[in-house]
Every structure is written in C-alpha cells, then in structure tokens.
Structure 1
Amino acid sequence: MPVQAIVFDLDGVLIDSEPLWEEVRRGYVSARGGRWLPDTQERLMGMSTPEWADYIATDLVEGVTADEVAYEVIDQMSQRYADGPPLLPGAREAVQRMAEYRPLGLASSSPRALIDLALGKLGVEALFRATVSTEEVDRGKPEPDGYLTVAARLEVPAGACVAVEDSANGLRSAHAAGMAVIAVPREAHPPAPEALDLAAHTVRHLDEITPELVGRLGS
C-alpha cells in the first residue's frame, strides 16, 4: 500500500529523554524508600501515564496513590524540559524533511503536557497534523491503540503509515497496528532482538530516514 503518512515516536526518537525519565522515576522511588528492580526501566518504556504510575504505586513504593506518583513525576519532568528537551541529532531536520513529503503524526507514551511542551520547544508542533498520548487511549504500548488512534485522526489506514520507533514496546505497538516500522535503536536501551525483527528497516541515524526510504517501504 502506498505510504500516506509517517508517524514518529517522541521519547528516544526525537528527544533523548529516556535517561531523564529513568533518573526522575528512579529518584522518586528511592526518595520514598522503594525498590527499583533490574527490569523496571524496560517495563516502564511504552507504558501510558496511568499504567506506569500504577506500577510504581503498586509494585515499587508503598503509601502513595497512582495519581500522586503521576503528578510528582510529570512535574519534575516539566521542570527538566523548561530549558528545552534534549534534542537528538538530526531530529528537527528529519521532521522538517518528512513533513514536506507526507502528513506527520506522533504516537507517544509521554503525557499530553510533555508532548506539547517538547514539540513547542523544538518549534515543530505545527508540522504534526495529529498527535496522540497513550494516556488518551485504553492501552499503552506494546498494544496498538495509540498508533491506530493517530492513523484515524490522520484519516488514513494504519497500513498506509510508516512508523519510526526505538524501543521494543514501541516496535511491537506499531507493528501490531499494521504499520511498516523503521527502527532507530538506542545503545542505552536496545530493543529485544525479537522486537527488532519486526522492523521493516533499521537505521543508525535519523539522517537515514528519507522520502526515498519511506517510499520503498510502501512499494
């Protein structure tokens, strides 16, 4: 099916925010005498706000509610973004380049407040025709809900979209939605091999994402 739209992830694709998320959430857990497990960061990646807040409140920290966790962590992340989120090399150029080729969407596990703040700070918010936070759908990644919703808002079939993802749960989510997926793995949190195998193409740098590449994936 010819490509009609391109859908980016945010964290780990356009901004190098996963280390910040880990630092803030790990610090929150530690400050309250909780326990950070070896697989906690991997499990949290892709979860919606209600999902990760409930996981922290239920499994890692005692005596707090999920709402309290979400409020405090998101507030700390907003402060970290105040001077601009950590932009990944080539991110702004990739968004601008692909927006000239096809309509853009964004499917992110970040809360709406941080999505809007990040895109505004990067100066690319007007280039996205539809953005979805997984806190706005029933299930976070690896379920396909976020990607299906952004495709619906773009008014194109999910199978006519190409997604750009970095994490295992993100790759699983976009693939489950029926999208061809370009993987941009990050060394700090590489996706599981079986998740990476779901990608139609893997790149090392955002400069490699071009209209020519995307067009081939849709041919």
Structure 2
Amino acid sequence: MITAVVFDLDGVLIDTEPVWEEVRRAYVAETGGTWLPEAQRRLMGMSTAEWSRYLGADLGVGRDPERVATEVIERMAGRYEQRLPLVPGAVDAVRRLAARFPLGLASSSPRRLIDRVLVVAGLADAFTVTLSTEQVAAGKPSPDVYLAAAERLGVPPSECAAVEDSSNGLRAAAAAGMAVIAMPHAAYPPAPDALALADLVIATPEELTTEAVARLR
C-alpha cells in the first residue's frame, strides 16, 4: 500500500522552471559565460552545490560556487517576492492528499527558497518533512533526497509515491524504489526513457486524487 506521498517543488507545485532558466541565463551572460543548448536540461534536479559549480566551471562564469549560489538565489528570492507562480490546483492537491497521507517534500531548490514558497503558498503546515538536495550527498537523479525523505517520514520507500516533472526527478524517485507519478511540464518535457519509469502520468494537479494514489500499489 501507499502510505505516504513525497512531492517535488519546482514544476509540480510552482511553475518556476522558466524563472530559473531566465535568471541563470541572464546571470551567465552578465558574467561573461556561455549558455549551452543542453544547460537547462542538465540543471534540472541538480543541488545548489552542483549547479553553482556547473555555472562557474562549465558555463564559464568564473566565480567560486559559493558566490554563484548566493547571487543566483538572491535573484530568485526577489522574483518570488514579486510573484509566486503557483501551478493551478496545486495547493488543493496538497491539501487533498494531506487529509489522507503524511506528506514529504524533496526539492532541488535551496532551503531558503523552499521555506519561503511554503509560507507564501500557505502550505507550511501541510508537510511532515521537507528536504532540499543541499541536505544530502547528491542531487537528482541520485535517489538520496527521496531516500532521506522516506526515512524521516518513517515509511519504506516502496510505500511512498513521488510526484515529479523532470527527467532527473523521475529517475531519482524510481531509483529510490518509490511509485512514480509524472506530471510533465509542457515546455520542459522529460526524456522518453525517464517518463517510461512512471507508474502514473497526469496532466494537472486536479488528477492527483487519493484514489489514484492508492491504486498505485
């Protein structure tokens, strides 16, 4: 049986993948780096330490990772203050599932942004566990953050369902042994091999019902 549900954040609850790309692209350009065609695909799922090193070294920003992370996160926080792009129906979906299951959050966003989003969205009390990939050894597609969420929930990974949108997120959840729910982003669709790992594919949070989750196992 499914006894807990773990959500991703970016692309599932908030539509911020376009914001991340815009902010990072501008930052790379301003610092004399070069944005590569595969950059956004590779960045999705990376932890803060991983993407800040990638921007600094691979994309030619030429600044130390700590400075890159601080400056990019500050820009993202400013964008969230202007407008939080919640996915329509996401808050209701979280509340609906929280009435039946303990919930976790396993995000590649930094801790500062996770906490801010949950407060602004009014969901700070909905999750039993919230984790950033900053808090584990490796970001997605490594299963580390999902395994840590299951451990803190006190539930075997095989009894958890994970809700994801990106290729690396889907791979991470599947590698953790969780039932995988894919909600692909139209502008950033997952790779076919990653989508094939999903036990359930939905188009909108409205399809994320307790009955659909319970049927996964």
TM over 0.5: yes
The residue aligned with 1:58 is 57
Is 1:145–2:147 an aligned residue pair? no
The residue aligned with 1:114 is 113
Between the aligned partners of 2:5 and 2:41, the Cα distance in structure 1 is 25
What TM-score does the superposition give when structure 1 sets the normalisation length? 0.98
CA drift of 1:84 comes to 4.2
Letter in 1 for 2:176: A
Partner secondary structure for residue 82 of structure 1:
helix
Between the aligned partners of 1:195 and 1:117, the Cα distance in structure 2 is 30
Residue deviations 1:146-174, cap 9 Å, x none?
00000011011111000000000000000
Percent pairwise identity: 58
The residue aligned with 1:24 is 23
CA drift of 1:33 comes to 1.3
Is 1:196–2:195 an aligned residue pair? yes
Between the aligned partners of 1:84 and 1:96, the Cα distance in structure 2 is 22
Letter in 2 for 1:51: E
Residue deviations 1:178-215, cap 9 Å, x none?
00011000110000000000000101111001010011
Q: How does 1:178-193 map to 2 (within 5 A)?
A: 178-193=177-192
Structure 2: runs of 5+ lacking an equivalent: none
Between the aligned partners of 2:203 and 2:76, the Cα distance in structure 1 is 27
Residue deviations 1:69-113, cap 9 Å, x none?
000000000111114420001000000000001000000000000
Structure 1 stretches of at least 4 aligned residues deviating more than 2 Å after TM superposition: none
Letter in 2 for 1:116: D
Partner secondary structure for residue 67 of structure 1:
helix
Q: Is the 8 A contact 2:56 2:68 kept in 1?
A: yes
Partner secondary structure for residue 217 of structure 1:
coil
Between the aligned partners of 1:62 and 1:182, the Cα distance in structure 2 is 36
Structure 1: runs of 5+ lacking an equivalent: none
Q: Is the 8 A contact 1:158 1:178 kept in 2?
A: yes
Partner secondary structure for residue 215 of structure 2:
helix
The residue aligned with 1:175 is 174
Residue deviations 1:104-148, cap 9 Å, x none?
000000000000000110001101000110011000000000000
How many residues were matched structurally? Answer: 217
Between the aligned partners of 2:119 and 2:58, the Cα distance in structure 1 is 34
* RMSD between aligned residues: 0.7
Between the aligned partners of 1:59 and 1:197, the Cα distance in structure 2 is 30
Partner secondary structure for residue 6 of structure 2:
strand
**Greater CA deviation, 83-92 or 26-35?**
83-92
The residue aligned with 1:8 is 7
Letter in 1 for 2:25: R
Residue deviations 1:51-81, cap 9 Å, x none?
0000111111243111110000000001111
The residue aligned with 2:48 is 49
The residue aligned with 2:76 is 77
Between the aligned partners of 1:42 and 1:120, the Cα distance in structure 2 is 28
**Greater CA deviation, 60-69 or 158-167?**
60-69
